[in-house]
Amino acid sequence: MSESIVTPPVNGGTAKVSKISEAVIRFAGNSQDGIQAIGGFLARLAGRSEQEVMTFMTIPATISGGPSIFQVRIGSGEVLSAGDEADVLVAFYPHSYEEHIGALRKGGIVLYDSDHVQPNPEWEKQYRHVAVPITSRTVEAIGGTAKDKGKNIFTLGLVAKMFDLNVPKLERLISERFGGKDESVVRSAMSAFHAGYGYSLGEVLETFQFREPARKDRQQVVMTGNEALAYGLIAAGIRFGAAYPITPWSEVMEILRRELPKYGGTFVQCEDEIASACMAIGAGWAGRVAVTGSSGPGISLKGEAIGWAVMAEVPLVVCDIQRGGPATGLPTNVEQSDLNIACYGGHGDSPRVVIAPVGVEDCFYTAIEAVNIARKYSVPVIILSDQSIATRIEAMEEPKLEKLCQDLTPDLSAVADYTPYPLDGTVTPRLAAGTPILSGKYPISTGLEHDEGGHPSGAPKMHLQMTARRRRKLQTLAAQLPQPQVYGPPEGNILLLGWGSTQGPIREAVDRARAAGDSVSALNLRHLNPLPPGLENIFAGFNHVLVVEANDEGIYGYGQLAGILRARFCLPKIIGLNKTDGLTWRVGEILERVKSDVAAGLRRL
Amino acid sequence: MNDTAIQVPQRGNITSVPPATPPDAPRQPLTKKELSADHPTWCPGCGDFAVLALYFKLVEKRKLWHEKIATVAGIGCSSRFPYFVQAHGAHFIHGRALPFASGISLSRPDLHVFVFGGDGDAYSIGGNHLTHTARKNIKMTYVVMDNWVYGLTKKQTSPTSPLGFKSKTDGSGAIDQPINPMKQLIAAGASFVARATHTNPNHLLQMMEAAMDHDGFSVIECLSECVEFYEGAFDASNPRKGGKFETVPASHDVTDEVAAYKLADAPFPGYFGVFYKSGRPTKNALEAKINADARLKVAGKKDWEILQATFDRLK
C-alpha cells in the first residue's frame, strides 16, 4: 500500500473500495496475545491466494510476556522484504502504540484498542486513527474469561474486513488450526473472528482489495526459514542429527526430532554442544552424513570437533542460525557476525565450506546443496542462516519433492581396497563403516596428521601434502560453483554486495535507486567459503563495491565479508556498509547510508 | 535454484566387488595376525598391551568380523588403541569418544561399538559425556584403562591420582580429591559396571565378554599400569607383587545399586568383577520403538510422499 499505490480518501462518507497491490500491516502487542498467530493466518492465506508474502517478527528474550510484534507484507507482485514502513499499525496497548507509531508511514492507519489506548492528539494529525474497543468486543463475543485469548482472532476478523480477504479460506484455516482441540475452542475462535469481521469500520474506512496476482505455475507452501531448513535436510536424505537447544536454532531440532522417526531417522538432544557435534560426526563416520546445529555460542563450542571432521575428512552439516553476539548477546535479534567463525573459526588450517541461504525458500535448497557438498568432498559444510530468515514466514513455490528427495542409505557392498586420503588429488568419499575390505587393510580416521591410509605421520612432507590436499578439495569445489548473477545492469557506478538474508532489502534498494535514476546494481553471495568464480570481472564493472552487512565495521572500517573480499581482491573500492542494531536492514536505511557516504565524500553517486 | 545442487553418486569413485565369501557362509575366526595393524607405540611393560591382546582374543573367540566392529578412542596413551586394530576405527578428539561412538551406535545397529580410553578422557575432560551416555544407556562397550596419571603428556595429575601423588602439576603431591570411578559410573546410571586389572587377563577377558553381551552401556574400569610415570601403582592388587586380587563376593546382588555402591567404597585394592547390572531398556531400543510407531502411521509411503503430506498441511 506504499505511496505510489493508493491514496487514501480524505472524506469519511460511505465505504469505498480501493485496489491495492500490496500492504504492510504491523501488529504490536504482548507476546502472549497470539499476534504471531494472526500473522501466521495472513501469511498462509496469502500463500493459498498465490500472493507473495513476507513477515517479520520480534519476540522478547524473556520467558513469558513482554512486547512483541509481527509485521506482514502481502503483495500481488514480488515481495523482497518485510517492508520498511507499515501501512497499518494494529496497537493493543499504550506501549504498542507509542513504540510503533514511528514504524507507520505518514498518513497510515493506526487501528488501536480503545479499551487500553488513549490517542495522542499530535499524532492524530499525522496518522489516521481508528478506534476499536477490541478487548470489550472480544469479551462480548466469546465470554468473559478468555478475553486475552480471543483478541487476536477478533483482530484477524477486522483485518479481513478491511482488506476484503477471502472469508471461507480464513474460516478453513481457523478450523484447521484449532481443529485438534475441543469443539468449543473452534466455536469461540469463529465467534471472535465474525465479531471482528462484522464490526463496522465502514464509517471511517474504505475497503482495500488486492489486485489479482499473476498466476503461478505451482502451488505455494508457506513456512518459516527454520521449517524450510529442517524439511530441506529431510529431503536431502539426512536421517541422523544431534544438537543442544539454543535460540533461534531450537525450532529446527524440534522439527527434526518430531519428523525424523517417520523416515526411520533419529535426532538426539545431547548433553551439550560439543557432544552434539561429536555425535553427528560419529554418525557421518558410520556412513551417512548427519547434521548438528546451533547459534553462535554453540558454534564456538563445536569448533574442535569440526576441526577433526576437516582433518579426518568426514562429512558433516552444521547449521548456524546467527543471532547478535558475542556471548549471550542478543538471543532474539539478527546479526551476520558469525561469518568469520564459520570460515576461520578452527584451530590450524581447517578449510570448510560455508553457504548462506538468502531467504526462506533458499533454506530448503541450501540444505540439499550442503548435504551433497559434504558427501562429495567429505568435508564439514556450515549453513549460515540467521534469526530473521529463521523466524519469518514466506510463501514459496512448492518444491518438486519426488524429484528432489534423496536416499542416502549407505552402500555396504565389499570393496577390494580403500585409500581414504589419496595424495593424487582425487576426491574420495568416505567408505561407510561396515563395508568389507577384501585386502584386509582397514582405514583409520584420525585427527593426527596421517598418511594416505590414515596412519599417523608427522613427516614434514606429509603434513605439507595433506594440508594441500584438504585445501585443494575446496579449490576444486570453487571451480564448480555457479557464477553469481548481478541484479541490475552488470556495469555501473555502485554495486551493493550482500550475503544471506540481506538479499531482499538490497534488491529493493536497487529497484528504488534505479527508479530515481541512480546507477546501482546488486550482488548477493550464497557461497562464502570458497567464494564463487567470476567476482573479479563483476567488480571490474563498478566504481564502488559497497558490502552491506549486519555486523560491525571493525577496527579498519569494513565488516566481515568486506574484510574477506579485500584480502582476496586487494581492491580499495570495496567498502563496508555496516550496522549492529539487531534489526534487519531496511530498504530506506540502505539508501540513506549510501547517500550519506556520498555526502561525506567517500564516493560519488 | 536447484540447478546449483551438486549431484553426488552414492559412493563416488569407489567400486564394489563381490564379497570374498557369501554373507552367510561359515568363516574362520580372525587371527591375531589378521587383526593386528600398526605396531603399538606404548612403552614396554605398559598395561595397555594386555587390553589390546584380550580385545583380539575377544574378537577371535566371539567370531566378530573386521567390518562389523568399530573401534573408537579419544586422546591419551591408551586411546592410540584403534591404530593397532585392523578394523574400521576412529581416533577422535580428547574426551569425546563417547558421543562419537553414540552417533555410530544409534545410527548403525549392525555394528559392535567398542570404545577404549584412559582416565583423563573418561573422568576429566569427557566426564559430562560419561554421565549422559550412561544415563541414556546407549549400547556400546567402554573399556577405561585407568593408570592414575597423565602419561601421554608425561606425568601430570589425573582425576584418579591419589592424594599426595607427586606429578609435574602437583610438585608437593596431589591435593584434589580423586574420583571414585565405580561410584561415578553407578551414580550416572551405567547399566553394566565392572572392574578389572591388566594383571589378571583371564578375568579381564571374562569381563569383556560379559560387557559385550550386555545390551546397554557397559563399562569396564580396568587398572592399567603406567610403568613410566606411575610404576607400582597397582601392586597392592597384584598377587605376584604381594598384593591381593579379590573378586566381588558371590553373595553380591549385581542388581542392587546400593550394594554396588558399598562395594565401590572398599579401599584399594578393593574388589574385581561385575558390580552392577541393570536390564533397563537402551536408548537404541527406545528410539527404535518411537520409529516403529511413527512408521506405522506412514506405512507404505515413500519418503517423498511423507514429506509431501507435511507440505500439503503448509499450504
Cell of residue B291, nine digits: 520409529
Cell of residue A444, nine digits: 583409520
Q: Percent of chain A scored above 90 by pLDDT?
A: 74
d(CA A359, CA A394) in angstroms, rounded, equals: 9
Three-state SS letters, A81-149: CCCCCEEEEEECCHHHHHHHHHHEEEEEEEEEECCCCCCCHHHHHHCEEEEECHHHHHHHHHCCCCHHH
The architecture of the domain spanning B28-280 is 3-Layer(aba) Sandwich (3.40)
- Give the distance from residue A307's alpha carbon to the nearest chain B alpha carbon, in angstroms: 9
Residue A572, SS3? Answer: coil
| Residue pointed to by grid coordinates 592424594 | B163
- Give the distance from residue A579's alpha carbon to the nearest chain B alpha carbon, in angstroms: 29
| Distance, first Cα to last Cα, chain B | 21
| Helices A225-236 + A360-377 axis angle, to 10 | 30
d(CA A421, CA B271) in angstroms, rounded, equals: 46
Backbone angles phi, psi at A525, to 5 degrees: -95, 135
Q: Across the interface, which of A281, A287, A434 has its CB nearest the CB of B100? A: A281
Chain B residues touching residue A268 (CB < 8 angstroms): 102, 106
Query: What are B223-282's pLDDT values in tens digits?
Result: 999 999 999 999 999 999 999 999 999 999 999 999 999 999 999 999 999 999 999 999
- Give the distance from residue B15's alpha carbon to the nearest chain A alpha carbon, in angstroms: 6
Are the Cβ atoms of A270 and B88 closer than 8 angstroms?
no
Are the C-beta atoms of A484 and A512 separated by less than 8 Å? no
Are the C-beta atoms of A449 and A463 separated by less than 8 Å? yes
Domain A17-210: CATH superfamily, name plus number: Pyruvate-ferredoxin oxidoreductase, PFOR, domain III (3.40.920.10)
Are the Cβ atoms of A402 and B1 closer than 8 angstroms?
no
For A282-293, give one letter per residue: b (16+ CB within 10 A) or e. bbbbbbbbbbbb
Query: What are A383-393's pLDDT values in tens digits?
Result: 999 999 999 99
Residues of chain A with CATH 3.40.920.10: 17-210
d(CA A286, CA B105) in angstroms, rounded, equals: 9
Are the Cβ atoms of B93 and A280 closer than 8 angstroms?
no
Query: What are A345-386's pLDDT values in tens digits?
Result: 999 999 999 999 999 999 999 999 999 999 999 999 999 999
Compare all CA atoms of chain A with the CA of B309 and give the residue at the minimum distance.
A401
Query: What are A62-113's pLDDT values in tens digits?
Result: 666 788 888 999 888 888 888 889 999 999 999 999 999 999 999 999 999 9
| Residue from A44, A262, A407 whose CB has the most chain B CBs within 10 Å, to mutate | A262
Cell of residue B29, nine digits: 575366526
- Give the distance from residue B247's alpha carbon to the nearest chain A alpha carbon, in angstroms: 35
d(CA A509, CA A511) in angstroms, rounded, equals: 5
- Give the distance from residue A49's alpha carbon to the nearest chain B alpha carbon, in angstroms: 10
Query: What are A444-478's pLDDT values in tens digits?
Result: 999 999 999 999 999 999 999 999 999 999 999 99
Q: Which residues pair with A487 in a beta bridge?
A: A522
Half-sphere exposure of A132 (CA within 13 A, CB side): 32
The domain segmentation of chain B, as residue ranges, is 28-280, 281-315
Q: Across the interface, which of B90, B129, B294 has its CB nearest the CB of A262? A: B294
Domain A222-404: CATH superfamily, name plus number: Thiamin diphosphate (ThDP)-binding fold, Pyr/PP domains (3.40.50.970)
* DSSP per-residue string spanning A473-502: HHHHHHHHSPPPPPBS-SSEEEEEEEEGGG
Chain A residues touching residue B8 (CB < 8 angstroms): 372, 375-376, 429
Say if strands A86-91 and A104-113 run parallel, antiparallel, or are unpaired: parallel
Given the candidates 3.40.50.920, 3.40.50.720, 3.90.245.10, 2.60.40.1930, the CATH classification of the domain at A492-599 is 3.40.50.920
Are the Cβ atoms of B103 and A290 closer than 8 angstroms?
yes
d(CA A397, CA A379) in angstroms, rounded, equals: 30
Tally C-beta pairs within 8 A across A and B: 251
Compare all CA atoms of chain A with the CA of B111 and give the residue at the minimum distance.
A434
Q: Model-level pTM?
A: 0.95
Compare all CA atoms of chain A with the CA of B33 and give the residue at the minimum distance.
A440
The secondary structure of residue A361, as a DSSP letter, is: H
The tens place of each residue's pLDDT in chain B, 315 residues long, gives 444 456 676 787 888 898 877 777 888 999 999 999 999 999 999 999 999 999 999 999 999 999 999 999 999 999 999 999 999 999 999 999 999 999 999 999 999 999 999 999 999 999 999 999 999 999 999 999 999 999 999 999 999 999 999 999 999 999 999 999 999 999 999 999 999 999 999 999 999 999 999 999 999 999 999 999 999 999 999 999 999 999 999 999 999 999 999 999 999 999 999 999 999 999 999 999 999 999 999 999 999 999 999 999 998
Helix and strand element counts for chain A (H, E): 20, 22
- What ranges make up the beta strands (E) of A265-304? 266-269, 291-294
Residues of chain A with CATH 3.40.50.920: 492-599
- Give the distance from residue A415's alpha carbon to the nearest chain B alpha carbon, in angstroms: 5
Chain A residues touching residue B108 (CB < 8 angstroms): 286-287, 433-434
d(CA B271, CA B279) in angstroms, rounded, equals: 22
| Residue from A51, A272, A285 whose CB has the most chain B CBs within 10 Å, to mutate | A285
d(CA A229, CA A390) in angstroms, rounded, equals: 9
Band of residue A59 on the pLDDT scale cut at 50, 70, 90 = low
d(CA A266, CA B103) in angstroms, rounded, equals: 10
Chain B residues touching residue A307 (CB < 8 angstroms): 93
| Residue from B32, B59, B296, B303 whose CB has the most chain A CBs within 10 Å, to mutate | B303
